[in-house]
Amino acid sequence: MPGEKIRNMRKAAGWTLRALAEKTGVSESYISQLERGLVDPSVSLLRKIAAALEVPVASFFDEDGEPPLITRREDRRQARSGDGALSFSWISPQGEGLHLEMVEVHLQPGAELQGPAGEHYVNLLLTAGSLRMEYQDTVADLQSGDSVFIPSHTGYTLRCTGQAGAAGILCTSHGEEHP
List pLDDT tens digits, range 89-122.
888 776 555 677 889 999 999 999 888 777 778 8
Q: Using CB atoms within 10 A of its CB, is residue 47 exposed (0-12), middle (13-18) or buried (19+)?
A: middle
Per-residue confidence band for 136, with pLDDT thresholds at 50, 70 and 90? confident
Which CATH number is 14's domain given? 1.10.260.40
Per-residue confidence band for 146, with pLDDT thresholds at 50, 70 and 90? very high
Residues 112 and 50 in one domain: no
Which range has the top average pLDDT, 3-12, 86-95, 132-141, 147-156? 132-141
The rounded distance, in Å, linking the Cα atoms of 40 and 78 is: 27
Of residues 83 and 72, more confidently modeled: 83
Q: Provide the pLDDT for residue 129.
A: 95
Residues 134 and 159 in one domain: yes
Whether residue 70 lies inside any domain: the answer is no
pLDDT in tens, 14-36: 889 999 999 889 999 999 998 88
Residues 81 and 17 in one domain: no
Whether residue 71 lies inside any domain: the answer is no
Q: Helices 28-35 and 17-24: crossing angle, nearest 10°?
A: 110
- Taking 50 as the threshold, does the pLDDT of residue 179 lie above it? no
How many separate domains does the chain show? Answer: 2
The rounded distance, in Å, linking the Cα atoms of 40 and 151 is: 47
Decide if 113 contacts 135 (C-beta within 8 A).
Answer: no
Residues 101 and 41 in one domain: no
Which CATH number is 150's domain given? 2.60.120.10
Whether residue 169 lies inside any domain: the answer is yes
Residues 125 and 88 in one domain: yes
pLDDT in tens, 38-51: 888 877 788 888 88
Average pLDDT of the residues of the chain: 83
- Taking 80 as the threshold, does the pLDDT of residue 62 lie above it? no
Q: Provide the pLDDT for residue 178.
A: 45
Lowest mean pLDDT among 33-37, 54-58, 103-107, 133-137: 54-58
Task: Give the range of the structural domain holding residue 81, as residue numbers without chain letter.
Answer: 76-174
